[in-house]
Each structure stands twice: as C-alpha cells, then as structure tokens.
Structure 1
Amino acid sequence: MPTIDSSFVVNHTCLRIKDPKVSLPFYTENFGLKLISVFPFPDKKFTLYMLGYENDAEVASKNWAEREGVLELCHNHGVEDDDSYELNNGNGTEDRGFGHICISVDNIEVAERTLLAKGVKFQKKLSDGRQKNIAFALDPNGYWIELIEHGQGKTATLSSPSTYKFNHTMIRVKDAEKSLDFYKKVLGLKVLATSVHEGAKFTLYFLGYEHDPEYKENSETGESKAIKEGLIELTHNWGTESDPEFKGYHNGNSTEGGAKQGFGHTCVSCKDPARFCKEINDEFGEENIDWSVKWNQGGMKEIAFIRDPDGYSIEIIAHDLFKNGN
C-alpha cells in the first residue's frame, strides 16, 4: 500500500458554476464560507474560487491546499452570458452520479428558518418526507446542499455560521466493494461510518483520513462524524453491481451523448504528491491505474488526476500548490 503519512487530507470538491457574481455571495452570505483564494487562468479561460471556513487561527494560517473542507467553484469565462448554458446537478433522471455537498450546523431548525427567510430554495425541508433531521437546500446552479446538525455550541434561538463545517461530498457508486478497495487501498482513506438502509435498499459509506494507528474503522456516530470536514460519502444502491441493464453513473465531466457537466472532482492533498503517485504505480502497476492526468504531465504542472472505478476524478496536489499565486 502507498505510504499515507499524517499530511494527507481530503482538500476540496470542485463544482462548475455559471456566474460567480451569483454563486460567491450565495455561499458567503448564506452559509458563512470565506473566499480564501482566487486563481484566474486567462489563457485557459477559467477562474477558480476557493472557499472554506476559517473558524480558528490555525486553519486561517494554512495555505488553501493544506486544509480540509475547501469548496472550489470553477467558472469558465463567458458562460454567464450564454442563455443555453446548463449544468448537471447529478440528481436528474438521466446522467445521475454526484449527489450533494453537505454542511453541518449547530442548530438545523434555526439554520433552515434563516435560509428560508433569505430566499434560499429547498429541495427538501425538515418537515418533508420521513427523515426529519436532514434538509436539502439548492444553490443557484441547482446543486443540492445537505444540512445536518452537529450540535456543538447549540442554542435554542440562534445559528452561528462560525460553527459550520463543510462535512462531506456524496457520490453514487455502482459496486461498493470495488469502490471501497480503491479509496482504502489506493488513496489510503478509512471507513469512518457505515449506514445501512434496508427498507430503501441502499448503504452509505463515509470515508476520510484518520492517522491514529489505533483508529478503529466504523467507530464514528452522530456528532463525532458531523463535526468533521473533508469526508467522502459513497452511496451504493443495492443491485447496481449485478444489473446488466445498469449503464453506470455520470462522472460530472463527460459530455458523451450530449451529457452536461457539473461536478468536477474531489482532491487529496499531501506534502509529497510526486512520491505518492509513484508509489501508486509501483504498488498496483501503472497499467492498472486510470490516470486522466499523470503527475506533472498536464497543462497545469505539479498536479495529477486519478479516476476511481466509476470514473470520478480525484485530483492529487501538494500543500503548497499556488501558495504564492498561480
């Protein structure tokens, strides 16, 4: 197995957006995220906006690429003026794949009331459906934002964004066994919690980095999981792995068959990504790894992109990437 040292974090999730003048204030004013870095690439005609929570001095002192729980919004220049431009939120009847991002809050009932008062639209409110402890807001591009409660510092009448966490990113997977093998053995993540829903016939796997050698997998419940940042949630709908009619999930990037893009990738950051990528090839054989961009060989240097069994992209970067600008 590749060497996984204490520097490894799930750094960010990338979503394409139509108009930064709309999306940036939506996330900063409604959810308390801070715009921590902006990287324009005029020659490539796109700009990256990095947002995260800076609720303590230690986090605020780190370069964006060293942190957990960063949201990367990717704006391709000019699409804001294209009336025909649409994004895929991953939850339609076709081209499903990416599900949602999740923000955990101190008091979910107050947070929901506050967001509704600000005009935020909801896919599911707390009062809807059978699950009364989660809600789903909608961002300006139609992406789903799950709300869960961590309860830390909870008061009866207030909800403070200073307590919020970018908890996880959910993607659907065809074969849970293959996906877990990839995320655990290739990327070195651990299963923090598993949630089995027999009635609805699906299972949720929450993965993240835990560097304590004594850590026991599947030991997180409730608040301990909700207070974390940078988790990846794998959703497995039972039977897809053996259904010959199931065509697989959309990875967010393909335009094959007229599919629309939306979700871009998740990202692993560490101190020595060049060594990590080499160790992946040495351990599993380069011919057995689906690299969409090999280390330092793409148009942007000092990054790599690896694809999981469903074709979702995971970027691999160093903690000091773009530390002094692009």
Structure 2
Amino acid sequence: MATDTSKYKFNHSMLRVKDPKESVKYYELLGFKLINKIENPDAKFDLYFLAYDSPSAASHAAHWTDRQGVIELTHNYGTENDPNYKIANGNSDPRGFGHLCISVDNIQAACKRIEDAGYKFQKKLTDGRMRHIAFALDPDSYWVEIIGQKPLEQTENITTTDLSTYRMNHTMIRIKDPEKSKEFYEKVMGMSLKRVSENAAAKFTLYFYGYGPPAPEQSANGVSSTADREGLLELTWNYGTENDPDFKYHDGNAEPQGFGHIAVAVDDLDAACQRFEDLKVNWKKRLTDGRMKNVAFVLDPDGYWVEIIQNEKLKNRSNW
C-alpha cells in the first residue's frame, strides 16, 4: 500500500452560506457551473459543488473529485429564513480565511459585468493604489478577488469578457508562522511553492502553493506567472505574528462560523491517511472516527481543517 503525493489535487474550498439559491446564482454569474449536489436531509444540510466546466476549462467534464478549483457551498437547513443568521467572512474580527480568487481574460469588463448585475465590491479597480485587482462581495460578503490574465493596458478598450476563460485561481488563508506552514504544506501535504510575493513596505508576504509543474519565473504576458492556474493556496503572513505567543487565527469552524476547510483529493485514501499517521499529524477526524468513513480531516499549524478525500477517478471508493 503506497501513496504518491504528485497525484494529489487541491480539490475544493468550503464556505458556509445562508441562502444557497442566492449563492449559486452569484457563482453562476461568475461562470461557475453546479457540477454536483449532495443532499443530507437526515443531518439537515446540503452541499453544492461548483467549478468551471466549459470545454476550455482546466477540468472540463472530470469527476468532481478529480478536479482542482472547486467551491463547496454548505447550507444548513433553515438559515435562509433566520434574519439573525450571519456568516463570518474572515476579514473582520475574528480573522483567518481571506478570500477566493478568480482570474479572468478582461478584468475591466468582468468587474463591470458583476457591478451591472447589482453586486457590491469591497474594492473596485479604481480604489486605492492597487489598480490591477478588485474584490467583489458574494451574497454572504465573502471576498472574491478578481485578477487579470492579461495586463490592464491590453484590455482597457475591450468591453466583452469570455467566461469560458475564467479560472478558480486560489484560496487565501492567513498564517501565523510561515516556516511552520511551509513545512506542513510541503512535507505533509506534498505541495510545492509556485510563487512568492514580498511586500516589505506593507509588512506582509504571500506564498502560493499548489500541485503540478512549477510556474515560470515570469509570465509571458506580463502579469502573474500563476494567473492562468487553478488550485492554488495563498498563505498570507503578516510580519511579527510568529513572535506573539497569544496570537491566533480563527479557523472558521468555531463560532462565528464561515469558511470551513480546504480539501485535497488523494490517490489512495487509506494509504494517504496512514502516511499522515506516520508523520504524526494533528487529526480533527480520522477515517475511523464517526459515521463518515470516506473522509478524514487533518489540522494545519494554524488549526485550519484540511479534508482528505478519495480521487474517484484513480480509485473507486464512494458513491458520491
């Protein structure tokens, strides 16, 4: 029994939502397609899996477990009718999860299309100093970063945008100690560092991790070398947090809830979990715990949950 981390995929990121109809509508506006729904009426929750699935999408027509860049929306029954129910988006206290990010062919046209549909922005292209990124707000006020696959000057006079070119580029979480987090995602999860963005003046550094081939040192089209990728994990380190013994990020699963977990699909679930056991990881849930015997959860150094699932293309296990 063996497992090969080179076959792993950063499959999905889970967000709790108040009203699934409104959330699915929003992400479909961004070009996502509902590729799977798992209903759990006994436990009173449903899961909605969305991904880019056009013929030119990176994972077109693949099984939902054999993809990267999937979004899982979790709906607990009744929240849509509770006027006091509110999601914690991770960017106001308590902080932890930061945002999802999509990359688009024409950032100006993409942002205009979202604004014309009536949705709000945390940051428009014209706000602040960073004119090459925007942050749209979904119905629960989660931040969705929008980046361009081409330089601004190449698209400023183009008024159309092609949803089939979009990518679910990355998921951002804040980390306390970069050395501990880097060791975990490299040695335990088998990811590799694709890009580093240092911002010394603002006292933060971004580390982009993922599976697959290395990114080129610089992009051929003059933007981020990873802008055309899916399935990246952005770790944001604000300088000094590692030296504060009392500092802690919110994992999204303690109250107030919002972001739930990231998920990695593996080649052999039993072998992968045995490897994690041998590496003495901190478990949230082993395969043998509870009723669900087809998922496990590992804790990263900040206490974020990393779900481990079987890639059903490589080995059939669950009737998802």
- Same fold judged by TM-score > 0.5? yes
Report what 2:41 is aligned to.
Answer: 42
Give yes or no for contact 1:188–1:209 (8 Å, CA) kept in 2: yes
Range with greater deviation from structure 2 (295-304 or 191-200): 295-304
Q: 2:98–2:143: 8 Å Cα contact kept in structure 1? A: yes
List, as ranges, runs of 4+ consecutive aligned residues in structure 1 with deviation greater than 3 Å. Answer: 2-6, 152-155, 217-224, 321-326
The alpha-carbon deviation at position 314 of structure 1 amounts to 0.6
| Unaligned residue ranges in structure 1 (runs of 5+) | none
Aligned residue pairs: how many? 310
1:273 aligned partner: 269
Partner residue in 2 for 1:79: 79
Task: Check whether the contact 1:303–1:316 (CA below 8 A) recurs between aligned residues.
Answer: yes
| Structure 1 Cα separation of the partners of residues 138 and 84 of structure 2 | 19
1:243 Cα shift? 2.1
Q: Aligned residue for 1:232? A: 233
Over the aligned positions, Cα root-mean-square deviation in angstroms equals 2.2
Structure 1 residues 220 and 87: CA distance shift in structure 2, 3 A: farther
8 Å contact from structure 1 (residues 296, 303) kept in 2: no
1:134 aligns with 2:128: no
Match of 2:164 among 162, 165, 171: 162
Aligned-pair CA distance for 1:323: 8.6
User: TM-score w.r.t. structure 1 length?
Assistant: 0.90
Alignment-derived partner of residue 52 in structure 1: 51
Is the 8 Å Cα contact of residues 298 and 305 (structure 2) preserved in structure 1? Answer: yes
Q: Where does 1:78-227 land on structure 2 (aligned, <5 Å)?
A: 78-92=78-92, 94-151=93-150, 156-210=158-212, 212=213, 215=214, 219=217, 221=219, 222-227=223-228
TM-superposed CA distance for 1:110, in Å, is 0.9
**CA deviation after TM superposition for structure 1 residue 290, in Å:** 1.1
**Aligned 8 A contact 1:266 1:314 in 2:** yes
Unmatched runs of 5 consecutive residues or more in structure 2 = none
Alignment partner of 1:7 is 2:3: no
Match of 1:320 in 2: 312
3-state SS of paired residue (1:60): coil
Which residue of the partner structure matches residue 22 of structure 1?
22
SS at match of 1:148: strand
Alpha-carbon contact 1:192-1:220 (below 8 Å) kept: no
**What is the letter of the counterpart of residue 63 of structure 1?**
H
Cα distance in structure 2, aligned partners of 1:33 and 1:42: 25
Per-residue displacement from partner, 1:281-324 (whole Å, max 9, x unpaired)? 22x23xxx211010243322211100101000010001129998
